[in-house]
Amino acid sequence: MSLPTADLAVTAVSDPPAAAAPGASFVLTDTTQNVGPTVVGATSTRYVLSVDTVRSANDIVIGARGIGALGPGVPSTGSAPATIPAGTASGTYFLLACADDTNQIIEASETNNCLAAAGTITIGP
């Protein structure tokens, strides 16, 4: 039995605004790359707010960008809108961009799918 060779990684993500209120929208940009040796089918990269730099089930999804099929080594750079959901608790959050966040692709490594932006975002009224 051979291991899957598809592999997606987020290699860059723009910083969120320093502060925003629930309901605010802004645009994020990321680069998602096929770092594996085989073609990867269409998927999406989701943007989430997290209390740390690790993707977990309680993170808050704020947007997504569709990505077409990618050949080996091919990057996809694009932008998509993100919106802070109403009711988001006040606090400081990390912004993560996570490739194939809905697990549509079986990958050689799932540990390289997310990347945290360098800056954080403070949510408040």
**What's residue 85's pLDDT?**
98
**What's residue 3's pLDDT?**
61
CA 25 to CA 84: how far, in whole Å?
Answer: 6
pLDDT per residue as tens digits for the range 34-50: 999 999 999 999 999 99
**What's residue 12's pLDDT?**
98
Q: How confident is the model at residue 2 (pLDDT cuts 50, 70, 90)?
A: low
CA 80 to CA 103: how far, in whole Å?
Answer: 20
Domains of the chain with CATH codes:
8-123 (2.60.40.10)
Q: How confident is the model at residue 4 (pLDDT cuts 50, 70, 90)?
A: low
DSSP E strand boundaries for the chain? 8-13, 19-20, 25-34, 43-50, 60-67, 75-83, 91-99, 114-123
pLDDT per residue as tens digits for the range 101-112: 999 998 888 899
